[in-house]
Amino acid sequence: MSALLNIRLARSLWRSKIRLFAVVLMVFVGVFAGITFGGYSHNLGGMYDTMQADDNKGANLADLWVDNRSTTWSPDQVNTFCDALELAWISSTVKTSLDSCEGRTITQGTMFHSNDNGQQIINSLWHGIPADANADRVWLPSGNSEGRTAVAANEIVFDAHVIDALNLSLGDIVTIGAGNATADFTLVGIGYHPLHVLMAPEGTVFPPESGQYVVGYLSDTGMAHLTGNVLGTSNTIVLDIEGTPSYDFPNTQEYEGEEIDAIKELIHISLNSTELDARVRDRGQNEPVEVMRQDLEGTKRTTIPFTMMIASIAAITIVLSLQRLVQSQAKEIAVLRTLGVKRSSLMIGYIASPIVIGGIGCALGALFGPYGMNWMLDFYQTLVGVPIIIRTIPISVFLTVISSTMLIVFLSGAFPAWKASRLDPLLVLSGKNEMRVGSNLLRRLTSWMPTTLGLSIRSSVRKPVRLTMTFVAVGISLMLFGSIQMMSAGLQETFVGSLEDDQTWDAQVYIMPDAEGPVLDWADSNSAYYEMIIEMPLGSVTDSEDIDRIFTLVGLDLFKNGMRSISVVEGEVPTANELLIQVMMDEGSMKFLGWNVGEKHTVSINGVQQDVEIVGTSNAELARTMYFLRGDLSEILGVNATSIYLQLPEGIEVDSALGEVSTGVVKRQNLLDGINSLLDQQTKIFQAMMYLGLLFTIVVMFNTMIMNVAERDLELATLRVLGASTRSLGLMLLFENLLIGIIGGIIGVLFAYGGAVGLAASFSSWQFIVPVTIIPSVAWQLMFGVILIAVAMTPFGVWRLRHMDLIEKVKDISQ
Amino acid sequence: MKKLLQMENIERHYETPAGAVKALDGVTFEIMEGERVILLGPSGSGKTTLLNCLSALDSPTAGSYMFIDQVVPRNNSEQMTSFRRENIGYVFQFFNLLQDLTVLENILLIQELAGKKDPQRAKELLKLVGLEAEIDRFPGEISGGQQQRVAIARSIAKHPTLLLGDELTGNLDTETSNKVMEVLVSACKQEKITSVFVTHDEGLVRYATRVIRIDSGKIVSDKSLDNDLKE
């Protein structure tokens, strides 16, 4: 008996093939997304581990950097410092040991690159890495890199990020410069460096467009050859400590840096005893490392809510579709019950069918999930430019995703069947179970409207639970889609807008301290306007949590009408010759630090304590920044300028002469392109999720529309028999869809805004503040999109109306 | 009396796995304005198929069907719908009122769809079927007999020329059936509407002016009831 009943059920369900496939599809999508994102998140976790590892295969990222970019230390000074540190270490209570203390030169420079467009002056950074270096080595992963490290004085390794853009290959000769010197080097390797996953110049997190910023790794002899300094001359000391001492993550409330603080204390003692001035940074304070850690963490973190969102949408759709599928069986269940079939015999099929339906969807999802994960990892790998070598999906990911999906499928299939089996067969067979009384409230609200419009509205809200669930699902779908769009638009408007509208320079020329003379001469001889600025990431302050926060110091001559105008949101711009130095701070810093305009604070500037008065707040800046009048900052730092803004007359371009007298040149257009490119990249990382969100919006809306129309077959058939034209009924459906679209759109925009605020909060940290502004065009775009999807469903309803077999329907009506 | 419609040699064949089925096999008859016709016949005799052809829900396979001297469209869904909208009223066995609309709104909707919205007439019709007190109630709040009376008011709300009904009292008890039929007859007389009803209930013959009996797709008898016609 049961076997026949199950065959009957299978055949009966097969009659609703489209709905059946829709359920299997949603189960598949849910499991596929769960495994894709679960595996993606899991493998991202180990992404940098292989690169930073202190073993033969890794590059051994240093634990601490001691540097001073405005001077160099002789080999003796470095050795003396390292000896002093070792001595201090031995007599301290620090339990871990110092693995290595190595001097390096890391210098800004230029690359003279010729291509079809002539010679380009490319802003660059050169590392001098000894052949026997222990920490911060070049990473040459097997199969994902080429060549070897530089050993000879004329050899160089280029970072893999720029190879394609510059069209370079092993054996090529490249001409590079640093300050006043230039030299030719042979390319012997193409690899990666743990400090340059983010290919952005120091002080910015925006990488210029690929090929507009170059990082190269020379040997120590190569660096001596380039700079003309004595071998072993350094401006950076890299320290590697046994294991990885815990350091503070700037984006967390807790302070995790006690272990490294004890070591930093030893470093400060040693610096004092050897009379060296230097900045000391751990991994959390080394911006490129920290930004990428946060980026990775953010990406990993967002996969969880994104997976949850996708799972919720899939669950809602599965619940709605499967319930509808089983509810449509109510009459057959009633007939069988009337014929005397036991409830338990009936239920076996209804328990088994969701398991079979879910099982097929889960199997497909589990089969294709790993492909989705690999696609996402490949995509992220392409964007970041670092190979993700180890890829595995833990069994726990499969088990969690499949078991939760199966539970949802089972409950949403078996529960309505159980409910249907408890219905009085007489009620079902007489159709009385479908009788209901309309809402008086709705009647009052819509009685003034044309009856067709009133009916449209009442029909739309006939199943409030389903409609609410649809709106929730649409809202979540649009949260996926719209929040990323909103966040990107906010970033675009804030950062690109300010660089485009408030800054008028064409090129920023970086110089060695007090080496502005030749650049100013170049500007004069080319009739270019110039403005000197000081810009150094040398400020720090201890916040209320006792955490050292590093910020950029910017010294300008003019805050308004200069080449870099600062938009003041509160207070005034600093004035000169005050007893206490006046400064302005960016909005993000003020919020993080809880400071107010008018307050006086003590900050550390290049290691020196300085009292300042905060007189104004500048508009949102990406980097935490304190603005000084250049004269004031120059007095504190003893430097006239670190770079010079140039406004170039028509026909004048940056040339090699300028390149040779500078340590790097950045064109504003390149910077803009770089920011746009980074924002595009960031958006692309989420684009898969965005489009998944859009797809879900379409599926959810379509699912609801199909159910709405299918459920109203009888009603629509009645109206057709009574002479209602397809056009008038189509208009009714259009009204309904429009109504659902408008409400869905409004809910979608609200969800998207909420999602954007949540995303921005999860990404925002001291280093990187993400502003969220509602850009009306994005909100309209979202609303319009949902309305369009809803309205686009009307033809389906009209098609169904046209193809309705009225004779069959009249038979149904008569039965 | 003027001729309202004429069917000549109407055939309706269906292809089934077991072969062709002749649901209607050469049906010929005329109906005059003001007649109240009842189609009687056993199950499967073809009476519902004939009703479907009369209403232009279905297209005959062969034969001619003229309605007020005009050829009735066939095999064209929109033209057939238009014919129904302009000429036909229809009453279903299960009433098929829209649950989300009140009694009055159910009638207004049909008027609106036919482009003849007239709330005053809708109310008058509800008065005619004895439901003036129920106009703001939903179908779920009134009895089956009352619902069928609303359905009758709805079907005549747009001034149809021909009113059709398929087992329209099949879902009602005898007493309610009689009340509904009395209302229907009275409404048809007042509105001067010709009507054709399919039923298997011989008891309803007394409400008709003519009875056509069908069996195996053929008219087996066609009889005018003189005493009713005298009314």
Collect all residues of chain A within an 8 Å Cβ-Cβ radius of residue B102: 438, 443
A58 backbone dihedrals φ, ψ, rounded to 5°: -90, 180
User: Which one of A435, A439, A723 has the shortest CB-CB distance to B84?
Assistant: A723
In a domain, A663, yes or no: no
| Contact between A723 and B112 using a beta-carbon 8 Å cutoff | no
Same domain flag for A70 and A162: yes
- Other CB atoms within a 10 A radius of the CB of residue A468 amount to 13
Residues B138 and B117: their CA atoms lie apart, in Å, by 20
Three-state SS at A721? helix
DSSP symbols for A633-662 = HHHHHT-S-SEEEEEPPTT----HHHHHTS
Collect all residues of chain A within an 8 Å Cβ-Cβ radius of residue B48: 811, 814
Chain Cα centroid distance, residue A562: 33
Collect all residues of chain A within an 8 Å Cβ-Cβ radius of residue B92: 718, 721, 810, 813-814
Same domain flag for A429 and A440: no
- Cβ contacts of B194 within 8 Å, gap of 6 or more: B4, B31, B32, B33, B34, B35, B36, B37, B161, B162, B163, B188
A561 exposure class (CB count in 10 Å sphere: 0-12, 13-18, 19+): exposed
Specify whether the CB–CB gap between A265 and A64 falls below 8 A. Answer: no
Q: What is the pLDDT of residues B92-106, one digit of tens each?
A: 877 778 888 889 988
Same domain flag for A352 and A445: no
In a domain, A259, yes or no: yes
- Whether B154 has its CB under 8 Å from any CB of chain A: the answer is yes
Beta bridge partners of A472: none
| Distance of residue A433 Cα from the nearest chain B Cα, in angstroms | 11
Tokens describing residue A114 = 């010729």
- A314-323, A630-639, B181-190, B207-216: which has the minimum mean pLDDT? A314-323
Q: What is the pLDDT of residues A683-712, one digit of tens each?
A: 666 666 677 777 777 777 777 777 777 777
CA proximity to A244, closest of A40, A44, A58: A58
Three-state SS at B68? coil
Q: What is the rounded end-to-end Cα distance, in angstroms, of chain B?
A: 14
| Contact between B140 and A726 using a beta-carbon 8 Å cutoff | no
Tokens describing residue A629 = 């009048």
Residues B218 and B44: their CA atoms lie apart, in Å, by 11
DSSP symbols for A100-139 = EEEEEEEEEEEEEEEETTEEEEEEEEEEE--TT--SSPPB
| Distance of residue A4 Cα from the nearest chain B Cα, in angstroms | 24
| Contact between B101 and A458 using a beta-carbon 8 Å cutoff | yes
Collect all residues of chain A within an 8 Å Cβ-Cβ radius of residue B94: 431, 813-814
Specify whether the CB–CB gap between A274 and A656 falls below 8 A. Answer: no
Residues A1 and A310: their CA atoms lie apart, in Å, by 40
- Cβ contacts of A116 within 8 Å, gap of 6 or more: none
- Whether A433 has its CB under 8 Å from any CB of chain B: the answer is no
Specify whether the CB–CB gap between A278 and A66 falls below 8 A. Answer: yes
| Contact between B92 and A436 using a beta-carbon 8 Å cutoff | no
Q: Which CATH topology does B3-230 take?
A: Rossmann fold (3.40.50)
Strands B194-199 vs B3-16: parallel, antiparallel or unpaired:
unpaired
User: A642 lies in which domain range?
Assistant: 529-647
In a domain, A740, yes or no: yes
Give the residues of chain A that fall short of pLDDT 50. Answer: 815
DSSP H/E element including A354: helix A343-384
Q: For chain B, give the longest Cα–Cα distance.
A: 53
Give me the torsion for CA of A499, A504, A507, A512, rounded to 10°.
Answer: -90
Same domain flag for A493 and A542: no
Of A433, A454, A479, which marks where a domain is finished?
A433
| Contact between B94 and A806 using a beta-carbon 8 Å cutoff | no
Residues A85 and A87: their CA atoms lie apart, in Å, by 5
- Other CB atoms within a 10 A radius of the CB of residue A99 amount to 17
* Helical ranges in B60-132 per DSSP H: 77-87, 103-113, 119-128
Tokens describing residue A105 = 């030169």
- Whether A442 has its CB under 8 Å from any CB of chain B: the answer is yes
Residues A736 and A747: their CA atoms lie apart, in Å, by 16
- Whether B115 has its CB under 8 Å from any CB of chain A: the answer is no
- Whether B102 has its CB under 8 Å from any CB of chain A: the answer is yes
Tokens 């088990």 — which residue?
A399
| Distance of residue A325 Cα from the nearest chain B Cα, in angstroms | 23
* Amino acid letter, residue A710: A
CA proximity to A49, closest of A399, A262, A300: A300
Of A433, A463, A484, which marks where a domain is finished?
A433
pLDDT of residue B230: 41
Q: What is the rounded end-to-end Cα distance, in angstroms, of chain A?
A: 28
Collect all residues of chain A within an 8 Å Cβ-Cβ radius of residue B39: none
Q: Where are the beta strands (DSSP E) in chain B?
A: 3-16, 19-32, 36-40, 62-67, 70-71, 88-91, 162-166, 194-199, 210-215, 218-224
CA proximity to A321, closest of A358, A347, A352, A349: A358
Residues B92 and A428: their CA atoms lie apart, in Å, by 19
Same domain flag for A266 and A371: no
Same domain flag for A815 and A722: yes
Chain A, window 682-741: residues with a beta carbon less than 8 angstroms from a chain B beta carbon:
714-715, 718-726, 728
Collect all residues of chain A within an 8 Å Cβ-Cβ radius of residue B167: 814
In a domain, A346, yes or no: yes
User: Which one of A452, A714, A721 has the shortest CB-CB distance to B112?
Assistant: A452
| Distance of residue A710 Cα from the nearest chain B Cα, in angstroms | 15
In a domain, A332, yes or no: yes
| Contact between A810 and B98 using a beta-carbon 8 Å cutoff | no
pLDDT beyond 60 at B228: no
Confidence bin at B194 (pLDDT 50/70/90): very high
Three-state SS at B161? coil
Residues A300 and A294: their CA atoms lie apart, in Å, by 10
Residues A183 and A176: their CA atoms lie apart, in Å, by 6
CA proximity to A513, closest of A251, A171, A235, A160: A235
| Contact between B99 and A714 using a beta-carbon 8 Å cutoff | no
Tokens describing residue B39 = 């189609």
Same domain flag for A95 and A180: yes
pLDDT of residue B231: 43
Tokens describing residue A773 = 């502004």
| Contact between B96 and A437 using a beta-carbon 8 Å cutoff | no
| Contact between B154 and A722 using a beta-carbon 8 Å cutoff | yes
| Distance of residue B188 Cα from the nearest chain A Cα, in angstroms | 17
| Distance of residue A722 Cα from the nearest chain B Cα, in angstroms | 6
Chain Cα centroid distance, residue A51: 21
| Contact between A814 and B48 using a beta-carbon 8 Å cutoff | yes
Beta bridge partners of A281: A65
Same domain flag for A122 and A267: yes
Q: What is the pLDDT of residues B3-48, one digit of tens each?
A: 899 999 999 998 877 788 889 999 999 999 999 999 998 888 888 8
Residues A296 and A313: their CA atoms lie apart, in Å, by 26
In a domain, A467, yes or no: yes
Best of A722, A725, A808 to disrupt the B interface (most B CBs within 10 Å) is A722
Confidence bin at B229 (pLDDT 50/70/90): very low
User: Which one of A436, A452, A725 has the shortest CB-CB distance to B81?
Assistant: A725
In a domain, A482, yes or no: yes
Collect all residues of chain A within an 8 Å Cβ-Cβ radius of residue B107: none
| Contact between B101 and A450 using a beta-carbon 8 Å cutoff | no
Q: How many domains does chain A have?
A: 4
Three-state SS at A74? coil
A581 backbone dihedrals φ, ψ, rounded to 5°: -60, 130
Same domain flag for A150 and A256: yes
CA atoms within 13 A on the CB side of A244: 15
> Which residue in B has a C-alpha nearest to residue A457's C-alpha?
B100
pLDDT of residue A811: 63
Number of A to B CB contacts under 8 A, please give it.
Answer: 110
| Contact between B99 and A807 using a beta-carbon 8 Å cutoff | no
Same domain flag for A41 and A84: no
Distances (CA, A) of A261 to A87, A546, A746: 17, 12, 51
Three-state SS at A245? coil
| Contact between A455 and B58 using a beta-carbon 8 Å cutoff | no
Q: Give all strands of the β-sheet with B88-91 in edge-to-edge order.
A: B88-91, B162-166, B194-199, B36-40, B210-215, B218-224
Three-state SS at A43? helix
Specify whether the CB–CB gap between A514 and A640 falls below 8 A. Answer: yes
Collect all residues of chain B within an 8 Å Cβ-Cβ radius of residue A443: 102, 105, 136, 138
Best of B81, B82, B95, B100 to disrupt the A interface (most A CBs within 10 Å) is B100
Chain B, window 185-224: residues with a beta carbon less than 8 angstroms from a chain A beta carbon:
none
User: Which one of A442, A725, A810 has the shortest CB-CB distance to B82?
Assistant: A725
| Contact between A451 and B154 using a beta-carbon 8 Å cutoff | no
Same domain flag for A26 and A107: no
DSSP H/E element including A613: strand A608-618
| Distance of residue A703 Cα from the nearest chain B Cα, in angstroms | 22
Same domain flag for A387 and A534: no
| Contact between B81 and A723 using a beta-carbon 8 Å cutoff | yes
Residues A126 and A717: their CA atoms lie apart, in Å, by 77
Residues B51 and A477: their CA atoms lie apart, in Å, by 50
Residues A789 and B32: their CA atoms lie apart, in Å, by 52
Collect all residues of chain B within an 8 Å Cβ-Cβ radius of residue A719: 109, 113
Residues A173 and B185: their CA atoms lie apart, in Å, by 105
Q: What is the pLDDT of residues B110-145, one digit of tens each?
A: 888 777 788 898 998 888 888 888 888 888 888 888
Tokens describing residue B18 = 């077991």
User: Which one of B85, B93, B141 has the shortest CB-CB distance to A437?
Assistant: B141
| Distance of residue B200 Cα from the nearest chain A Cα, in angstroms | 14
* Amino acid letter, residue A230: V
Collect all residues of chain A within an 8 Å Cβ-Cβ radius of residue B114: 723
Q: Give the predicted TM-score (pTM) of the model.
A: 0.66
Residues A451 and A457: their CA atoms lie apart, in Å, by 10
CA angle A44, A52, A391 (to 5 degrees): 30
Tokens 């609106």 — which residue?
B112
| Contact between A455 and B100 using a beta-carbon 8 Å cutoff | yes
- Other CB atoms within a 10 A radius of the CB of residue A154 amount to 17
